Each structure stands twice: as C-alpha cells, then as structure tokens.
Copies of this chain bind each other. A is one copy, B any other.
Amino acid sequence: MLHLQSESTTRWLSQVDEHLDEVLIDHAHCERKAASTAMSLMNSYTENRQLCEEMARIVEEELEHYFMVLDVLEKREIPFRRLQTGHYGRELNALCRPQEPHRAVDRLLIASLIEARSCERFRLLAEHVRPRDEELAEFYAGLFESEARHHTTYVKLAEHFADRQSVMTRLDQLSSDETAIIAKGSSLARMHS
C-alpha cells in the first residue's frame, strides 16, 4: 500500500537511539517542509482545482503536525534549531524529470514516497520507543495514519498528469531509487537517514 521496496533497518534505529533529540528536531523541519512542498505544488498547478484543494488540506495538516512536534521539543526542553540538511530529499528531488507533464508526475510521486517512508518509520519508531517512552510512542502512533493517507493522495493526483499505468511504472522506478538512497544511510541522524 505504501509502495516501498525496503524496510528500515536496525542501523537507523541505533542512530535514533543515539541522537533522538536531533531526530526530533529534524522531524519538526520535515513537517514544515512537507507543508511547503504542498504549497509549491499548488502554486505550480493552480489551474487544477482538485489538486489545490488536496494540497490545502495537506498544508493545514502538516503545519498542525509541525506545531505538535515543536510542543514535544518544548516539553522535553530540547531547543529547536536549524540542522544541516540530509541527502535524502535532495537526491530524491534530483530524480525529477524537467519537462511537463513528467515533472508534475515526478514531483507528486516523490512527495508520495517521502510520505510513505515517514509513515513506515513513524510506525517502526512508535514500537521501538514504546518500552521506555510510552508518550513518544503514542505521539508517533498518532501520526502515521495521515502520512499513509497523504501518500495515497499524491499517487492519485499523479494520474491527473499521466495514465495510470505510466504512473505506476514510474512509481516503481522511483521507489526502487528511493530504496537505494535510503540504503546508503547518512552520518547525520535524521528522520530519513
């Protein structure tokens, strides 16, 4: 359902254990960036009313999550700050074909894969931290449903710009690339490292 071709590894979970504060800060940035991505898609495809309405809903939800994560940080007395950006988003976005309508398809599918990976990791994280941090576990358990829904929304919207078969073929390809990117890992502890 999430169209991912790999599961997150214990390597990532160890990184989270060692740098939980940094991963939480990165998570806040991810929510804000997700809202920006949706807004940017609305700006690019403003003639498509359905897309605009779906994007507006996503903007609103992601911003709500952004403030929820900021509240978690505040409660844990973790100062919010800028972080060096990981390679995941940059490398995924570099796969975007430049010509329309391919560009629209790719932007939507890349957004769908980021949501899918977040969903997979939130679920994993919830179970991983549950034995020692029930509160954080509940927080993550409360988020992954909306990420799964956003994944589906983005994939469906891609079909406004190409037929279903082309969309699914391209999603397969991008998902395979996503798996390669995530498998490389990163020395920076991030939500998508």
Residues of A within 8 A of B (CB): 29, 32-33, 35-36, 39, 42-43, 46-47, 49, 52-53, 56, 59-60, 63, 66-67, 70, 80-82
Q: From DSSP, what is the main secondary structure of chain A's interface residues?
A: helix
- Beyond A32-B46, A46-B80, A56-B63, 20 additional contacts (C-beta under 8 Å) are A29-B46, A32-B42, A32-B43, A33-B43, A35-B39, A35-B59, A36-B39, A36-B43, A39-B39, A39-B59, A47-B80, A47-B82, A49-B70, A49-B80, A52-B66, A53-B67, A56-B66, A56-B67, A59-B59, A60-B60
Copies of this protein, total:
2
Complex CA gap A86/B80 in Å reads 39
Chain B residues within an 8 Å CB radius of A80 = 46-47, 49
From residue A26, how far is it (CB to closest CB) to chain B in Å? 12
Q: Are A59 and B70 in contact (CB under 8 A)?
A: no
Complex CA gap A66/B53 in Å reads 10
Complex CA gap A64/B117 in Å reads 30
Chain B residues within an 8 Å CB radius of A46 = 29, 32, 80, 82
